[in-house]
């Protein structure tokens, strides 16, 4: 498939709009699952740790399956994947309304909806990158806010729908809204060159069947020769040749004379195909070995290793508030009359603000993006430690806003990864880091829920969460300090605004 040069505009802005609404529609409910979490606790009567698996799977499974999602988009294109994934998200939400137990929700909401969201995220990012080059950062920043705006709106929307139609009706309506993803996906027109001719299949279609002697390996030499003989005779008879019978006798004599040559040719063909399969298997094995070798080289970079630990611990400790903050307020006996806005909505809108402001700060040359990212981790840890001391709606709302703003550090995470490993290894490294981020998303809320089941209070759970995030931040800071670089006998003279891991990225 031949692609034109990215136009950086035109239909690309339509792609930005539909990608924004795609992420808005698919991520709105999973990110605002904290509202549904309260209802599932009351409906099924399971422990908080077990119930939290539903939301954590929905948000983590897409990151865990990011390699599969990338392969699907590369193989089939963004438009077919978006349309198919729209059916997955809508179907999973509607199926969840009929869930008889929590285990059914693990599949319908956790896996089906989560995988659909992962596919849609990959499709929207891929099609946007195809349409933009110079303005790619702006375009990706605009579509990434769709999920945060979805969190802000869906938190209040799902709460209102539950009051009006109940939990089942809410999921049915939200699932029906997700069907609009199909319309968005249909507008994701691939950036193909209009002058490029379609693939030529006419030559294969025009080849008569009698020439495919070696197409089926199961056939013997005699069967293949009989097929060739029959095809030759049928072609003569169809063309109304008067001496069809005479040609048939002559053709038998000719085929019998080349029988030995056909056997030799067939054996040669089998040997060639066998050698080809061996070479293909050897090549694939070499690719796998190269992949794992490159992975091991990445982990020799001390900052990348610290970054992998930091993102894992950050998602284990930093993701649970977006899922459990509403239950924290209920556990603190805060009256519903004091609610001016759902706490999850505050997290969503402040995440949007954080993405924009932190992204702008990262573009300044005098800002060290690694230290900026470390600062957000340390501040997140402190905010998590403060949650057990919040006993009113106002303090919880302030902490929700702070945590939401700091969660916007996702917008500078690609900058940090690029600085760590270099642009040539960004795809490989980012895929590994996203896998561990998904693992943290999947484990964080259940761990916090299990702490509550054991202690019957959230204080210990959020102390644990804050400790995880602070530990990850301190490890990353320690790995990036210039003094550590001097202790390891590496070069002490580095270019300005580059970090001590620049040398390791060239390994």
Q: Residue 486 has what pLDDT?
A: 47
First to last CA, the chain: 34
Q: Residue 262 has what pLDDT?
A: 60
**Which helix (H) or strand (E) covers residue 488, if one does?**
none
Residues 323 and 438 occupy one common structural domain: yes
Q: Is residue 240 part of a domain?
A: no
Residues 283 and 169 occupy one common structural domain: no
**Are 6 and 133 in contact, with CB atoms under 8 Å apart?**
yes
Work out the angle at residue 258's Cα, subtended by the Cα atoms of residues 257 and 260, and round it to the nearest 5 degrees.
Answer: 105
**Are 184 and 22 in contact, with CB atoms under 8 Å apart?**
yes
**Which residue, among 154, 182, 184, 148, has the nearest Cα to 170 in the 3D structure?**
154
In whole angstroms, give the CA distance from residue 444 to residue 65.
18
Residues 183 and 284 occupy one common structural domain: no
User: Which residue in this structure is represented by tokens 């698996």?
Assistant: 53
Q: Is residue 85 part of a domain?
A: yes
Residues 340 and 453 occupy one common structural domain: yes
Residues 302 and 166 occupy one common structural domain: no
Q: Is residue 335 part of a domain?
A: yes
Spatial neighbors of 490 by CB under 8 A, at least 6 apart, are 500, 503
Q: Is residue 200 part of a domain?
A: no
Rounded average pLDDT over 445-464: 86
Domain end among 137, 158, 192: 192
Q: Which range, of 63-77, 141-155, 229-243, averages the lowest pLDDT?
A: 229-243
Share of the chain above pLDDT 70, in %: 75
Residues 301 and 412 occupy one common structural domain: yes
Rounded average pLDDT over 8-30: 89
In whole angstroms, give the CA distance from residue 246 to residue 503.
80
**Angle (deg, nearest 10), helices 11-31 and 114-131:** 160
pLDDT digits (tens, 9 = 90+) for 47-96: 888 888 898 888 888 888 877 777 788 788 889 999 999 999 999 999 99
Residues 153 and 292 occupy one common structural domain: no
Buried b (16+ CB within 10 A) or exposed e, 24-36: bbbbbbbbbbbbb
Residues 318 and 445 occupy one common structural domain: yes
**Which residue, among 124, 134, 151, has the nearest Cα to 116 in the 3D structure?**
124
Q: Residue 116 has what pLDDT?
A: 92
- Residue 22: count of CB within 10 angstroms of its CB: 32
**Is the pLDDT score of 311 beyond 60?**
yes
Q: Residue 206 has what pLDDT?
A: 43
Q: Which range, of 62-76, 147-161, 242-256, 358-372, averages the lowest pLDDT?
A: 242-256
**Is the pLDDT score of 333 beyond 50?**
yes
pLDDT digits (tens, 9 = 90+) for 99-119: 999 999 999 999 999 999 988
In whole angstroms, give the CA distance from residue 52 to residue 116.
19
In whole angstroms, give the CA distance from residue 459 to residue 447.
13
**Which residue, among 406, 389, 397, 394, has the nearest Cα to 319 in the 3D structure?**
406
- Counting Cα atoms < 13 Å in the Cβ hemisphere of 376 gives 31
In whole angstroms, give the CA distance from residue 474 to residue 63.
25
**Which residue, among 108, 92, 82, 111, has the nearest Cα to 181 in the 3D structure?**
82
**Are 420 and 501 in contact, with CB atoms under 8 Å apart?**
yes
Banded pLDDT at 284 (limits 50, 70, 90): low
Domain end among 171, 192, 213: 192
3-state secondary structure at position 99:
coil
Q: Residue 199 has what pLDDT?
A: 44
Q: Is residue 435 part of a domain?
A: yes
Q: Which range, of 10-19, 93-102, 223-232, 428-437, averages the lowest pLDDT?
A: 223-232
Q: What mean pLDDT is reported for the chain? A: 77
**Which residue, among 336, 347, 344, 327, has the nearest Cα to 451 in the 3D structure?**
327
Determine whether 420 is exposed, middle or buried from the number of CB atoms within 10 Å of its CB (0-12, 13-18, 19+): buried
Banded pLDDT at 162 (limits 50, 70, 90): very high
Q: Residue 91 has what pLDDT?
A: 95
Number of domains in the chain: 2
Banded pLDDT at 217 (limits 50, 70, 90): very low
Rounded average pLDDT over 436-465: 85
Domain end among 165, 192, 219: 192
| Ramachandran assignment for 343, one of left (phi > 0), alpha (psi -120 to 50 degrees), beta (any other) | alpha
Q: Is residue 255 part of a domain?
A: no
- The domain that holds 34 is classified in CATH as 1.20.1250.20
Return the higher-pLDDT residue of 271 and 360: 360
Rounded average pLDDT over 118-147: 80
Strand partners, 3: 192
Q: Is residue 339 part of a domain?
A: yes
Residues 180 and 279 occupy one common structural domain: no
3-state secondary structure at position 137:
helix
Instruction: Give me 25's structure tokens.
Output: 């529609």
- Residue 437: count of CB within 10 angstroms of its CB: 24
**Is the pLDDT score of 137 beyond 70?**
no
Residues 50 and 165 occupy one common structural domain: yes
In whole angstroms, give the CA distance from residue 278 to residue 286.
12
User: For the residues of 253-317, what is the DSSP string, one character each?
Assistant: HHHHHTHHHHHHHHHHHHHHHHHHHHHHHHHHHHHHHHHHHHHHHHHHSHHHHHHHHHHHHHHHH
Rounded average pLDDT over 390-418: 85
Residues 33 and 162 occupy one common structural domain: yes
Question: Which domain does 137 fall in, by range?
Answer: 1-192
Phi, psi (rounded to 5 degrees) for 334: -80, 130
User: Which residue in this structure is represented by tokens 């939401």?
Assistant: 404
Q: Is residue 260 part of a domain?
A: no
**Are 304 and 421 in contact, with CB atoms under 8 Å apart?**
yes
pLDDT digits (tens, 9 = 90+) for 166-201: 999 999 999 999 999 999 999 998 876 554 444 444
**Is the pLDDT score of 258 beyond 90?**
no
**Is the pLDDT score of 208 beyond 80?**
no
């Amino acid at each position: 498939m031949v692609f034109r040069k990215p136009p950086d505009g035109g239909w690309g802005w339509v792609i930005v709009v539909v990608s924004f609404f795609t992420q808005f529609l698919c991520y709105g409910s999973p990110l605002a699952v904290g509202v549904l979490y309260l209802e599932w606790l009351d409906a099924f009567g399971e422990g908080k740790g077990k119930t939290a698996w539903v939301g954590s799977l929905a948000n983590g499974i897409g990151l865990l399956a990011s390699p599969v999602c990338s392969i699907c988009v590369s193989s089939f294109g963004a438009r077919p994947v978006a349309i198919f994934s729209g059916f997955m998200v809508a179907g999973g939400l509607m199926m969840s309304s009929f869930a008889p137990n929590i285990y059914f929700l693990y599949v319908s909401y956790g896996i089906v909806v989560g995988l659909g969201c992962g596919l849609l995220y990959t499709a929207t990012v891929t099609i946007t990158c195809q349409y933009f080059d110079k303005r790619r950062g702006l375009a990706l920043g605009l579509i990434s806010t769709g999920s945060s705006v979805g969190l802000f709106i869906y938190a209040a929307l799902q709460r209102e729908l539950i009051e009006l139609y109940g939990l089942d009706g809410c999921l049915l309506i939200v699932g029906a809204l997700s069907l609009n993803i199909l319309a968005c996906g249909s507008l994701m027109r691939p950036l193909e060159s209009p002058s490029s001719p379609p693939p030529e299949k006419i030559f294969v279609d025009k080849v008569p069947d009698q020439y495919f002697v070696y197409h089926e390996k199961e056939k013997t030499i005699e069967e293949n020769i009989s097929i060739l003989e029959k095809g030759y005779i049928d072609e003569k008879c169809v063309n109304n040749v008067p001496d069809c019978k005479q040609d048939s006798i002559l053709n038998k004599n000719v085929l019998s004379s080349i029988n030995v040559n056909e056997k030799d040719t067939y054996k040669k063909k089998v040997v060639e195909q066998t050698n080809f399969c061996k070479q293909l298997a050897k090549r694939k094995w070499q690719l796998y070995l190269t992949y794992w070798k490159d992975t091991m080289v990445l982990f020799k970079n001390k900052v990348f290793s610290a970054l992998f630990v930091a993102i894992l611990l950050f998602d284990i400790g930093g993701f649970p508030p977006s899922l459990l903050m509403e239950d924290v307020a209920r556990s603190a006996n805060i009256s519903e009359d004091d609610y001016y806005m759902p706490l999850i909505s505050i997290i969503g809108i402040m995440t949007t603000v954080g993405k924009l402001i932190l992204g702008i700060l990262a573009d300044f040359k005098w800002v060290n993006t690694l230290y900026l990212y470390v600062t957000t981790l340390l501040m997140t840890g402190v905010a998590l430690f403060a949650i057990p001391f919040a006993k009113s709606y106002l303090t919880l709302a302030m902490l929700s806003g702070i945590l939401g703003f700091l969660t916007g550090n996702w917008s500078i995470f690609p900058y940090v990864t690029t600085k760590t490993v270099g642009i040539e290894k960004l795809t490989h490294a980012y895929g590994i880091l996203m896998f561990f981020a998904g693992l943290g998303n999947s484990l964080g809320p259940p761990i916090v829920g299990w702490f509550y089941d054991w202690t019957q209070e959230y204080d210990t759970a959020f102390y644990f969460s804050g400790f995880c995030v602070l530990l990850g931040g301190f490890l990353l800071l320690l790995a990036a300090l210039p003094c550590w670089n001097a202790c390891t006998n590496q070069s002490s003279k580095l270019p300005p605004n580059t970090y001590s891991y620049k040398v390791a990225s060239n390994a």
